[in-house]
Amino acid sequence: MSRGRLPSVAALQAFESAARHGSFSRAATELNLTQGAVSRQIRQVEDLTGVMLFERVRQRVVLTDAGRLYFSDVTRLLHDLTEATHRVSAFAGGAGTLNLAVLPTFATRWLMPRMPDFLAAHPDVTVNFTVRLTPFDLGAEPFDAVIHFGAPTWPGAICEPLMREEMVPVVGAGFRARHGIERPADLARATLMHQSTRPTAWGDWFEKAGLDAAAARRGPRFEQFSMIAQAAVAGLGVALVPRFLVEEELKSGRLEILFDLPLSTDKAYFIVYHEQRAGSSLVRGFTRWIRTAAGTL
């Protein structure tokens, strides 16, 4: 299908709205059009594609199988078009925009408290944050850079180190006394809280402490470090967390380190960007700033 035979954006918006509401009249109200105008727009799409997208069932319009497939694709395309428009609008007046994919706890606990320094030095820059928990195709996503934890291997990308992870066992105020924990072996009878992306961490810590790792397998699991840190503050158990992610709680006394026996792994945090973005002054500037803040530059 040539570009001249593609549906207009207005027609796609009419189709998406009608499909989402299951009603031409509701779509008309949402788009500030007449119901007849919505019908004509959808008929244009059906004529161009050569398939029926809706069928009438009682007083509603229902997507056909082809319509459901098209709805999924059109919804994504309209979302991408909206995001692209917002991104390019950020360049108005000479401003730049930086789109970052971040790890949620790293972003809230470490990055956000330091962002005012970057923004003060770059007042014309808009920084957008999106959470990504697992690796993805950096060339297919609209991100300038990514905060990544793991190994420095990402196809088609440059990985620059930020910091290694040093995990320490922490508990809330008064937990040590209430449970009579005086030495590492006492943790064998405590509630150990596990972070789901570090499933072997407690076992590794037990081995480092010269204890039986089998005793470290039990206990509840949490998806994010922010959750497990708050659970420790609430006295639900012992958490093994990266020291730099609980700096505030340690300073305030809401958490304390049980034993100064840190666990280091062979993984680390990295700032990652696609090879094609290596020439961007904004990406280079942010990379230089965040590595300086992390003490690795």
Looking at residue 176, its pLDDT comes to 94
The tokens describing 175, both together, are: 């937990």
Domain 166-264 is in which class? Answer: alpha beta
The answer to whether residue 1 scores a pLDDT higher than 70 is: no
The answer to whether residue 250 scores a pLDDT higher than 50 is: yes
Tell the CATH topology of 3-89: Arc Repressor Mutant, subunit A (1.10.10)
The answer to whether residue 9 scores a pLDDT higher than 60 is: yes
Least-confidence region, from 21-30, 54-63, 96-105, 185-194: 54-63
Looking at residue 4, its pLDDT comes to 58
**If you average pLDDT over every residue of the chain, what do you get?**
89
pLDDT, one tens digit per residue, over 203-224 is 999 999 999 998 898 899 998 8
The answer to whether residue 237 scores a pLDDT higher than 50 is: yes
> Fold match between 3-89 and 93-163+267-294?
no
**Burial class of 184 by CB neighbour count within 10 A (0 to 12, 13 to 18, 19+):** middle
Looking at residue 133, its pLDDT comes to 82
Dist. CA 9–CA 200, nearest whole Å: 50
Looking at residue 90, its pLDDT comes to 53
Q: What percent of the chain has pLDDT over 90?
A: 68
Q: What percent of the chain has pLDDT over 70?
A: 95
> Minimal CA–CA distance to 166: which of 269, 76, 36?
269
pLDDT, one tens digit per residue, over 111-149 is 999 999 999 999 888 899 999 888 778 877 888 999 999
pTM over 0.75, yes/no: no
- Residue 190 binned pLDDT confidence (cut-offs 50, 70, 90): very high
The tokens describing 89, both together, are: 């609008």
Looking at residue 85, its pLDDT comes to 75
Looking at residue 82, its pLDDT comes to 82
Looking at residue 92, its pLDDT comes to 52
Dist. CA 97–CA 101, nearest whole Å: 13
The ranges assigned to domains in the chain are 3-89, 93-163+267-294, 166-264
Q: Which long-range contacts (CB under 8 A, 24 or more apart) does 42-48 make?
A: 42/11, 42/14, 42/15, 42/18, 44/7, 44/8, 44/11, 45/7, 45/11, 45/12, 45/15, 48/1, 48/5, 48/6, 48/7
Half-sphere exposure of 131 (CA within 13 A, CB side): 8
pLDDT, one tens digit per residue, over 151-178 is 888 888 999 999 999 999 999 999 999 9
Looking at residue 87, its pLDDT comes to 62
Looking at residue 227, its pLDDT comes to 93
- Residue 95 binned pLDDT confidence (cut-offs 50, 70, 90): low
Dist. CA 293–CA 114, nearest whole Å: 8
Looking at residue 3, its pLDDT comes to 55
Please report the DSSP string for the chain in residue order.
Answer: --GGGSPPHHHHHHHHHHHHHT-HHHHHHHHT--HHHHHHHHHHHHHHHTS--EEEETTEEEE-HHHHHHHHHHHHHHHHHHHHHHHHHTTGGG-EEEEEEE-HHHIIIIIGGGHHHHHHH-TTEEEEEEE--S---GGGS--SEEEEEE-S--TTEEEEEEEEEEEEEEEETTHHHHHT--SGGGGGGS-EEEETT-TTHHHHHHHHTTS-GGGGS-S-EESSHHHHHHHHHTTS-EEEEEGGGGHHHHHHTSEEES-S--EEEEEEEEEEEEGGGTT-HHHHHHHHHHHHHHT--
Strand-pair partners of 169? 240
Domain 93-163+267-294 is in which class? Answer: alpha beta
The tokens describing 199, both together, are: 């499933």
- Residue 103 binned pLDDT confidence (cut-offs 50, 70, 90): very high
Dist. CA 169–CA 277, nearest whole Å: 39
pLDDT, one tens digit per residue, over 268-292 is 999 999 998 888 889 999 999 999 9
